Structure 1
Amino acid sequence: MQATRRPTSTMASTISDAAPALDILIVVASLSGNTRELGRMIAGRCRQAGHAVHWQEADEADAVPPLQADAADLLLLGSWTDNGGRTPAEMKAWVARLAGSGHQPLHVAVFGTGETQWGAEYYGGAVHRLRRYFHSPHPPLLIEQMPHGDAHATAIAAWTDAVLDNHGNQMHADHRRHHA
């Protein structure tokens, strides 16, 4: 008797298992354009995955935010690192405005660019500080200078996918916790 193979997935189950599209807010502080370009690559990957991406420059203090940070399903913060590993003034000001507004984002991941030529101990200092401040469970993404080439593209895609996947897992855990 010959065994018949059952299909491993069907269209119906694929559709029902799909995660809902996220509203993602990306806020970027960029001096030379390196972090902005990294943010654009991350935004493109998020859009490819079917998510709505809202963009804000950290230094646009007077601009109406495209999405409030606490209304975003996921907040992605991108920053360069200033002298001595410090967070640049425009990102500090953005975080201070957020804190002053009373808005509390639930899910935050941080990325950035820097240069090891100023000292390995300072590399990515702003990214590490922001990650700690927001208690982000996601590992940071750090790219030295301008993202370029296949290795960076692969690292950016892998980081973005991991953040999106982890966010989905956190959402399911939060849902189970609140509805148990």
Structure 2
Amino acid sequence: MVTLRRTAELVPAQLDEVRAFLDDAFGDFSDDDWRHALGGRHALVHEDGVLVAHGSLVPRRLLAGGRSLRTGYVEAVAVRPDRRRRGHGGAVMAALEALAPAYDLLALSASDAGVPLYEARGWQCWRGPTSVLTPTGLVRTPEDDGSVYVLGGSVDLDSPIGCDWRDGDVW
């Protein structure tokens, strides 16, 4: 069963539990990655009192088709290795996707390992070039081309897309 909580609803011990889980799950989960996962809604799956899956949906602005889109951006999706292939990742994604009506679009940056999960759920790869909005204007992020996936919204997947600036990985 998935529990949805806003970051502000999680007490420090719960935040510590999520951070430790993500550190273990990713191995290279940075402080910037952690900050990116905060400020929105967390989908949490516990089994026998142990956190086994997590994902968060945070608000961001994406620029596409000449519009600024209010976007729910998926971050920090992980499942404990010994609990994979039991539907936990799909349950986390379903809970986050249910929040879509609050946004123009849902988006995420997919790892190679995550692509099958997202594509099976109807997420589509953004085929156009990616950029980031910096203080000096849009700057191309060609290393991120082909890794951005979206769900919902009426957008041209071949057009350029830009994200708001943030420290660490911008996508």
Q: Same fold (TM over 0.5)?
A: no
TM-score by length of 1: 0.31
TM-score by length of 2: 0.32
Structure with more of its chain in helix, by fraction: 1
Structure number with bigger Rg? 1
Structure with more of its chain in strand, by fraction: 2
